[in-house]
Every structure is written in C-alpha cells, then in structure tokens.
C-alpha cells in the first residue's frame, strides 16, 4: 500500500480544434458535457480522481477559464484552481503544481491526468493508479499505458523494455514495467507493427511521480524551468504571488512533459509503465463523441422514429433512415434524411456538417477561419 | 402556321413538401430561385412563354400568393393574375382561365404549363408548342410528351397509339401523334418496359387546346364544373365578380386535368401528343436541384477550396473534401467536412440535412411536422 499522500494534478488547457464549433476558445472541450449525462469532462475527471486523492486535486487552467472551472466544482474546496497567465504547454503547468505540492509535503506523489479524457472502468483505473503510486515512491516517473485495441495513428506509443529482467526487483514487485522509449504518433504501417509486438501501449499522457523527484529531474534537464516553478510556488499564499507569477511565468520553457521529462528519463531507465486495460478515450473528434454517445444506452436523447440518431443538447430533431449525431441548442427544428455516419453541430453563429469518417479533417477548416476573417468563431 | 391567338395558362399552386424548408406554404416552389440565376421558376416560365404568347399569360394562383406573384412580374401587365379562393386542383384553375379566354376570343388556343418546372432548350420547346397549337386548332386536346431518359417512377407516362395510321391525316401532318392512353406512375419494372417500347413518353402535365374545345369537352365529362367556370368568367370585370367567385368556386369539382379530361378523351381518340426532346425537369426534390446547380457552370457560387460545393443563397460556406449543396441565407458560417451527395438547407427556424439519394423521403418528415406540433414550419 502506498504511504505518501497522493495529489492529482489536472492540466485543463488546450483549445482543441477538432470539436469546433462545439468547443471554442472561450468554452474548451474539458468544460463540455460530451456524453449527455449532465457532467462535463472536467467534472467526470474530478469525480474519478476524488476518491483516489489524499488532498484536493489541483486544476491548472488558463486565466480565461478560471471562473468557469470554479463554477463546475462540486464544492468550492473540491479542488485547488491555479490560473496560468498564458498557455505554455504541459510541463510548466505540471511543474508549478508539483512545486506547490512539494512545498507543503515534499514526499507527496502527484499524478497528472488530462481534464478532457473519458475512462469508464473506474475500478481498473484506481488499481492502475495504486500501482503507479507504488512505483513512484521508488523514485520512478510512472506512466499509465493503455493496451491498444487497434493500430491508432493519432496517439503516441510507449514501448516496454524488451528484457523481462530489466528494472530493479522492487519495481517488478509493484507490477509496473520499465519503459524502453516513447514513440511519436506512427504511420499506419508502424502502428500495425506496434500492435503485433505486444510491447507497445498507447501514451495517454498520464504521469505519476513524487513531486520532488519530478522537479529534481526537471532541474537536471531544464534547470530554469524547475527553478522558476519552485520560485513561483515559494511565493504562493503571499501578497507578492501575483507579481512573481506575472514576472516568471512567461520565462518558463513552453514544452510538453513528454519531451521535457518522459523521453530523456526513459533513455536513462528512470520511467516505468503500468499496463492498463480500462477503456480510455481522448474523445478527440466527433467520430469519438459519436461512438461514446452510441455506446451509452441511456446517454443522449434518441430522436423519434429512429434509434440511431443521438442528440446532445436541447435540439428538436426528427429523422428518416439516418444514423447521425446532432449537437444543438438553438430553437431550430432539425430534420435529417438518409444520413449515414454524419455529425451535425448547430450553433447560433456556426453550423458544421461532418462525415464521422473524416472527422480529423475538421482541423483544416478551423485553421483557416482566421484567414477568412472569421477568427471570432474560434 | 397557327392562326388562332395563343394564350398561356400557368397554374401556380401546390405546396410541394419535397423542397421543405426552402419551400413553405407561404413561399411555394414556383416563387423560388432554384438555379441561382436570379430568376424564380415562375419568372423563368413567364420568360419562356412570353415570346410564344399572343396575349398576356394567365397565372392562376392561390389568394395567399397573389401579391407575391404580382411582385415577381417583370411589368404589371406582363401577365393576368387570377386568384383562387382555395386550392381545388388543376382542372378548376385551367377551366376558369379557359373560360376567361373563351369569353374574349372563343377561337383562341390556350396552353397550360406548370409554373415550377425547368426547360432549358427553349427553341425546341417553342417548336413543340407550335406543333401543339396546330393540332389544337384541329380540335384535339394536345399534350407535350417528354422522351424519357431513364425508367423514372416519379412521373406518369403517355402511351402513343400503336398504329402509325391512327388519327386523321391532318393530325399526322402537324407532327403530333394520337395518344392511346395515359398511364399512372409505374413501378420500376413497368417503367423499364415503357422505356423499351419506345412508345411511352413522360407526362409533364402540359396541355394545349382551344379554350372552347376544352370547356365543351369538360361540359360533357363534368357539366357543373364547366358551367361554373363559364359563369364565373361571365362575371369577370363586373362588380359582382367577387361574390360570384366566392359563391361558385367552392362548388367546382376538385380534380386534376389528367383525370377530368386527358384520360377520358384519350380513350375517345381525342388526345394528341407532341413528342419532344427538350430537357425538362420538374425540379421535384433536392436531388434534382443539386443536379441543376451542378449542371450550371456559372450557377451557384462555388465554395472556396472545392469545386463541387454549390451554394444557393448568401450563405458563407467552407468545405473540405465535400460534394454538397447548401441553401442558406442566415448569417451563420457553414462548415462541411467529408460529405458526399448531401444537401443542407439552413433557415432561421428549420435546418435540413439530407442525402440526395433519399431526397424523396423528405415528404415523410414534412408530413409529420403537424403531429409534432410544428405546423408553423410548413
């Protein structure tokens, strides 16, 4: 059983473009209820982590979303909300949270989990986190690796060590495994190879480590970043915090934890992975949302006359011979005829009609909103 | 060359449900510009018939659309507009127009043409009308039959007489042919047989006859209908016209000209057909509109980045990998991803997304608007 207190860290940032116009800069994915069950992805993340936490989780979010995040908390003290003055990728956010934890409880273990992913099997998740905590107490940077179910090209992969005797005995006792390396998103041929090896797991961006280990390792890799995070944390709860944050935050290296820590530490044998089997979904595009809604018997209202039209929002939908997903909150009546695998997002200022099979291509359209003078729609 | 004056009659009624929500009860198909060329179907019909007319065409329309019809006329005297107090199918409308013409010029020939069909090859159409006028002067009810290009199941058919010696010599001299019978919309197997015989033509609902012949034949078939139409016409331009119309119109038999006259007269050898080759389109559903828009090099603005997204209306559309048709006049930005053969109609109170292949099924949805308490959207 882990002894050190466990503090979840939830970086809640990233204005994804693949759920536009449902998600916007002002209303990012983690604030949305994408399962029709009345809970946003952030709320579900807090629900899932709450029972595993020894201290309130720390949500690190953009200053523009601080208010919305606080409004979604089940109680004001259900989480600590840390506002970033600007988005500087995941490492500064996690480092600052780690430094805040370290300052109060140097031995504590933190676990960083995205605010906008879905995990259904919470028991299995809890077991994986317990193993990760054990391994983290040994000094490892621990990641949770998802057993791949298909040759996905949209995720990075974690390659387990080849030699079953790799890693020290105490690590093997936890159930975690040494990581050989992290691999960037592969093409389909490589993804198929990965699936065949049985040694590759999806990188879901979940990292567990002692706060002090994480910061000490970061101090080796990118000293100013670790130093800056610790300096900001030292000013926390003092009247100069705002000024220190404003001064130091913009200087912190904008980098993802994968590049800053996970990759170099894996090469040094300091990363372990907990292979997991829970069903994880990053709900990365409308095809994923459609799958989620369809998988929920009770989720999403079903349009009359057809049982494979999923409706998210208050939209009034009628359909003939259609398999579709509708997101709508306008007063407009929505009629569908003969659609197969189509998602429709009806908002006041933008309408999207998308073939789920090509859901990834949405980024192209969103990227050119600005050049078309429609930046206000992002 | 025909001698009798020619007066086109344009019944402009019928609230089609297969172009909803573009067409509505208050804004039926004939008032719409469905080709993106700035002319409604009614205006194009008037443009086409104007040069062939010896008198201003008579547009017979519902009282609710009288104002809109007058607004679309190129000049106030470009057509006579007759308002029906209620819709009673095509025969009363045509009979009333015939009676108005007969009262002024008993020998005149009328030609009834739908207000909401498209004909591109106007020269070929003009030649067919000239032949029809010749045959009409001989006392025939003459119809224009369209050479079928595929085994359509959505149209009725006209079967030419089997024997080439049928019909009198003077009819044969005009180029028109005797009609054996009219056939209701067939199933696909029969439609394929029809195509194979070479004797079947599409019934486009175009009828040409002397006004007095039409009314005399109607007086044989449905005496009260002919009598009522002539009585209303007799009151025209008098101060009691309104009262007479109000009193008699509701009593006129509500029936289509096909059933009232064409079918029984064909059996009596009194119907002739002019086989035509012009490209006729009843623009009966969104699949047809999409075909029309696509066929027009200059028709419909093309969305940037793709050349097979047709836009009708002022909608601002951006698309990736899509073949689609968009009808939109709202301020909303419309984004399309990966669509193939989809029509989108974006209006303030209703949104339709439809697979062109199943365009016919739209009627089902429109029919149940009332039972869903959405009759206001029709």
Asked if residue B170 and residue B31 are part of one domain, the reply reads yes
B346: contact with A, CB 8 A cutoff: yes
Task: Examine the pLDDT at B299 and tell me if it is beyond 50.
Answer: no
B362: contact with A, CB 8 A cutoff: yes
Chain A residues whose beta carbon lies within 8 Å of the beta carbon of residue B336: 352-354
Is residue A163 one of the residues assigned to a domain? yes
Which of B250, B281, B312 is the C-terminal boundary of a domain? B281
Is residue A145 one of the residues assigned to a domain? yes
Asked if residue B254 and residue B313 are part of one domain, the reply reads no
Asked if residue B301 and residue B207 are part of one domain, the reply reads no
- What's CA A309's distance to the chain center, in Å? 28
d(CA B185, CA B190): 9
Asked if residue A74 and residue A17 are part of one domain, the reply reads yes
Interchain proximity A337–B353, CB inside 8 Å:
yes
The neighbour count for residue A278, using CB atoms within 10 Å, is: 18
Is residue B1 one of the residues assigned to a domain? no
Cα-based distances in Å from A270 to A51, A135, A265: 28, 11, 5
Domain of residue A165, CATH code? 3.90.550.10
Task: Examine the pLDDT at B297 and tell me if it is beyond 80.
Answer: no
B118: contact with A, CB 8 A cutoff: no
Each residue's pLDDT tens digit, A306-349: 468 999 998 999 999 999 999 998 889 999 999 999 999 999 99
Contacts of A95 (CB under 8 A, 6+ apart): A214, A215, A218, A225, A226, A229, A252
B367: contact with A, CB 8 A cutoff: no
Asked if residue A360 and residue A273 are part of one domain, the reply reads no
B314: contact with A, CB 8 A cutoff: no
Task: Examine the pLDDT at B300 and tell me if it is beyond 90.
Answer: no
DSSP code of residue A313: S
Is residue B52 one of the residues assigned to a domain? yes
Which of B259, B281, B303 is the C-terminal boundary of a domain? B281
Cis peptide, bond prior to residue B98, ω within 30 of zero:
no
State the pLDDT at residue A277: 87
Asked if residue A219 and residue A108 are part of one domain, the reply reads yes
Is residue A240 one of the residues assigned to a domain? yes
A376: contact with B, CB 8 A cutoff: no
- Smallest Cβ distance to A365: which of B316, B337, B362? B337
**How far off is chain A from B334, nearest CA to CA, in Å?**
5
Asked if residue A232 and residue A361 are part of one domain, the reply reads no
Asked if residue A85 and residue A163 are part of one domain, the reply reads yes
- Interface probe, candidates A313, A319, A353, chain B, greatest B C-beta count within 10 A: A353
Is residue B21 one of the residues assigned to a domain? yes
Task: Examine the pLDDT at B99 and tell me if it is beyond 60.
Answer: yes
Asked if residue B290 and residue B207 are part of one domain, the reply reads no
- Smallest Cβ distance to A318: which of B324, B335, B368? B368
The reported pTM is 0.87
**What is chain A's mean pLDDT, rounded?**
92
Domain containing A330 equals: 286-377
Number of domains in chain A: 2
- Three-class SS of residue A30? helix
**How far off is chain B from A369, nearest CA to CA, in Å?**
9
Q: How confident is the model at residue B165 (pLDDT cuts 50, 70, 90)?
A: low
Interchain proximity A351–B334, CB inside 8 Å:
yes
Chain A residues whose beta carbon lies within 8 Å of the beta carbon of residue B333: 349-351, 369, 374, 377
State the pLDDT at residue B96: 98
| Burial tier of A122 (Cβ tally within 10 Å: 0-12, 13-18, 19+) | middle
Is residue B141 one of the residues assigned to a domain? yes
Each residue's pLDDT tens digit, B122-156: 999 999 999 999 999 999 999 999 999 999 998 99
- Placement of tokens 């949270």 in the chain: A97
Paired sense of beta strands A109-112 and A6-12, if any: parallel
**How far off is chain A from B337, nearest CA to CA, in Å?**
5
Q: Which of B265, B267, B137, B269 is nearest to B211 (CA)?
A: B137
B375: contact with A, CB 8 A cutoff: no
B332: contact with A, CB 8 A cutoff: yes
The nearest alpha carbon in chain B to A334 belongs to B351
Asked if residue B130 and residue B36 are part of one domain, the reply reads yes
Burial profile B243-254: b = 16 or more Cβ within 10 angstroms, e = fewer: ebbeebbeebbe
- Interface probe, candidates A22, A329, A338, chain B, greatest B C-beta count within 10 A: A338
Phi, psi of A153 (to 5 degrees): -105, 0
**How far off is chain B from A286, nearest CA to CA, in Å?**
11
Task: Examine the pLDDT at B301 and tell me if it is beyond 70.
Answer: no
Q: What angle do CA A26, A32, A35 make, to 5 degrees?
A: 160
- Three-class SS of residue A201? strand
Each residue's pLDDT tens digit, A159-197: 998 776 666 889 989 999 999 999 999 999 999 999 998
- What's CA A93's distance to the chain center, in Å? 13
Average pLDDT over residues A255-259: 94
Each residue's pLDDT tens digit, A224-248: 999 999 999 999 999 999 999 999 9
- Smallest Cβ distance to B337: which of A304, A346, A358? A358
Asked if residue A293 and residue A243 are part of one domain, the reply reads no
A47: contact with B, CB 8 A cutoff: no
Which of A233, A266, A281 is the C-terminal boundary of a domain? A281
State the pLDDT at residue A147: 94
E strands along chain A, which residues?
6-12, 58-62, 80-84, 109-112, 118-119, 141-146, 157-160, 177-183, 200-210, 271-276, 280-281, 301-302, 309-312, 316-320, 323-328, 333-337, 340-346, 350-355
**How far off is chain A from B378, nearest CA to CA, in Å?**
11
State the pLDDT at residue A300: 46
A370: contact with B, CB 8 A cutoff: no
Is residue A1 one of the residues assigned to a domain? no
Contacts of A123 (CB under 8 A, 6+ apart): none
- Smallest Cβ distance to B346: which of A351, A358, A359? A351
Interchain proximity A335–B364, CB inside 8 Å:
no
Cα-based distances in Å from B71 to B78, B81, B113, B138: 11, 11, 20, 37
- Smallest Cβ distance to A350: which of B333, B364, B366? B333
Asked if residue B300 and residue B273 are part of one domain, the reply reads no
Q: Which of A249, A260, A126 is nearest to A205 (CA)?
A: A260
């Amino acid at each position: 059983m882990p002894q050190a207190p466990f503090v979840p860290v939830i970086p809640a940032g990233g204005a994804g473009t693949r759920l536009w116009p449902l998600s916007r800069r002002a209303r990012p994915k983690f604030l949305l209820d994408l399962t029709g069950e009345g809970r946003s992805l952030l709320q579900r993340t807090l629900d899932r982590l709450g029972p595993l936490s020894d201290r309130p989780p720390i949500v690190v979010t953009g200053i523009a979303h601080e208010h919305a995040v606080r409004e979604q908390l089940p109680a004001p003290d259900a989480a600590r909300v840390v506002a970033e003055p600007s988005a500087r990728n995941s490492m500064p956010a996690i480092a600052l949270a780690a430094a805040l934890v370290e300052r109060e409880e140097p031995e504590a273990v933190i676990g960083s989990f995205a605010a906008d992913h879905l995990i259904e099997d919470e028991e299995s998740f809890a077991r994986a986190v317990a193993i990760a905590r054990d391994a983290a107490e040994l000094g490892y940077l621990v990641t949770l690796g998802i057993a791949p179910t298909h040759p996905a090209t949209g995720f990075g992969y974690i390659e387990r060590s080849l030699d079953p005797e790799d890693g020290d005995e105490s690590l093997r006792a936890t159930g975690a495994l040494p990581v050989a390396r992290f691999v960037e998103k592969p093409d389909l041929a490589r993804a198929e190879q990965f699936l065949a090896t049985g040694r590759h797991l999806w990188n879901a961006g979940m990292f567990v480590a002692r706060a002090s280990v994480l910061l000490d390792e970061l101090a080796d890799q990118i000293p100013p970043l670790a130093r800056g995070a610790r300096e900001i944390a030292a000013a926390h709860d003092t009247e100069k915090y705002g000024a220190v944050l404003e001064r130091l935050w913009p200087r912190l290296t904008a980098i993802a934890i994968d590049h800053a820590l996970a990759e170099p530490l894996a090469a040094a044998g300091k990363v372990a992975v907990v292979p997991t089997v829970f069903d994880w979904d990053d709900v990365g595009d409308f095809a994923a949302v459609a799958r989620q809604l369809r998988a929920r018997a009770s989720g999403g209202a079903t349009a009359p006359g057809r049982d494979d039209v999923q409706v998210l929002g208050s939209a009034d939908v009628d359909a003939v011979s259609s398999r579709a997903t509708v997101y709508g909150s306008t007063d407009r009546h929505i009629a569908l005829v003969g659609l197969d695998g189509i998602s429709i997002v009806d908002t006041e200022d933008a309408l999207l009609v998308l073939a789920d099979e090509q859901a990834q291509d949405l980024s192209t359209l969103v990227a050119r909103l600005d050049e078309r003078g429609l930046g206000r729609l992002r």
